[in-house]
Amino acid sequence: DIQMTQSQSSLSASVGDRVTITCQASQSIGMYLNWYQQKPGKAPKILIYAASSLQTGVPTRFSGSGSGTDFTLTISSLQPEDFATYFCQQTYNTPRTFGQGTRVEIK
Amino acid sequence: QVQLQESGPGLVKPSGTLSLTCAVSGGSISSTKWWSWVRQPPGKGLEWIGEIYHSGRTNYNPSLKSRVTISVDKSKNEFSLKLSSVTAADTALYYCAREGSSSTNLSYYYAMDVWGQGTTVTVSS
């Protein structure tokens, strides 16, 4: 299985901050990397697919980058509604695997 | 727009079989999508269980493969999960999801773009 590692289990930030969340794959996965946002009691929501493509309807303050083994999700200016947990996921092969999540908390 | 709704018992006895169904509305299960199950133990991350195509083709997580069966009922526009020999470790919030694809630079990329609200299953006597 491909292991996905999010090195930050949590981070604290303020509204308006630029936030960067990282994800590393245990082997090269090209651009087969997705980012999801999950709020408490809710299902995950797709934000970014194919490493850098913004899902329709997702605010442009979210962006993704990277390829191969190292990926980044950036929130350019954190908004109150962005406090949530973010997961990366590889779809290079099955089994699909997720990172353990990065919780973005209010500073 | 497509919506998914999980249903099934919220309590299963140890060594029993967990059975859940995901009803698909607003679209056909026979579309060119994969239909997935994902679970999330309390306070933990996401674990992919497996997926099915409308043809009946399946892919399972090897860690669960010996206990998992995913099936599709096209007449009812739904798909189902069965997990046998459950233990407390199978207690989780279970989600069904649609895995769609997008073409970029001649490659197809997959993502779970529609999710059910999730259903909690507790394994306890």
Out of B48, B59, B111, the one facing A46 most closely (by C-beta) is B111
Is residue B53 within 8 angstroms of chain A, CB to CB?
Answer: no
pLDDT tens-digit readout, A36-82? 999 999 999 999 999 999 999 999 999 999 999 999 999 999 999 99
B46–A89 C-beta distance less than 8 A: yes
**Which of B51, B63, B115 lies at the smallest CB-CB distance from A43?**
B115
Average pLDDT over residues B70-77: 96
* Average pLDDT of the residues in B110-123: 97
Mean pLDDT of chain B: 95
**Cβ contact B48–A96 (<8 Å):** yes
Could you give the CA distance from residue B41 to residue B88 in angstroms, rounded to a whole number? 10
Chain B residues with beta carbon closer than 8 angstroms to that of A91: 99, 109-111
Residue A31 pLDDT > 80, yes or no? yes
* pLDDT (tens digit per residue) in B89-112: 999 999 999 999 888 778 889 999
Q: pLDDT class for A106, splitting at 50, 70, 90? A: confident
Say what the pLDDT of residue B31 is: 86
Q: ∠ CA B94-B98-B101 to the nearest 5 degrees?
A: 145
Stated length of chain A: 107
Contacts of B109 in chain A (CB under 8 A): 31-32, 49-50, 53, 91
Out of B63, B109, B118, closest to residue A49 by CB: B109
pLDDT band at B32 (very low <50, low <70, confident <90, very high): confident
Q: Kindly report the nearest CA distance between residue A80 and chain B, in angstroms.
A: 22
Confidence of residue B47 (pLDDT cuts 50, 70, 90): very high
The tokens for B80 are 């189902």
**Disruptive mutation site among B109, B113, B114, B119 for chain A (greatest number of A CBs within 10 Å):** B109
Instruction: Find the mean pLDDT for residues B69-83.
Output: 97
Nearest to A86 by CA among A13, A28, A1: A13
Q: What is the pLDDT of residue B25?
A: 96
Q: Is the pLDDT of residue A4 over 80?
A: yes
Please provide the average confidence, as pLDDT, over all residues in chain A: 97
Interface contact flag, B45 A98, Cβ < 8 Å: yes
pLDDT at A85 over 90: yes
Segment B16-25 shows an average pLDDT of: 98
B87-106 burial code (b ≥16 CB/10 A, e <16): eeebbbbbbbbbbbbeeeee
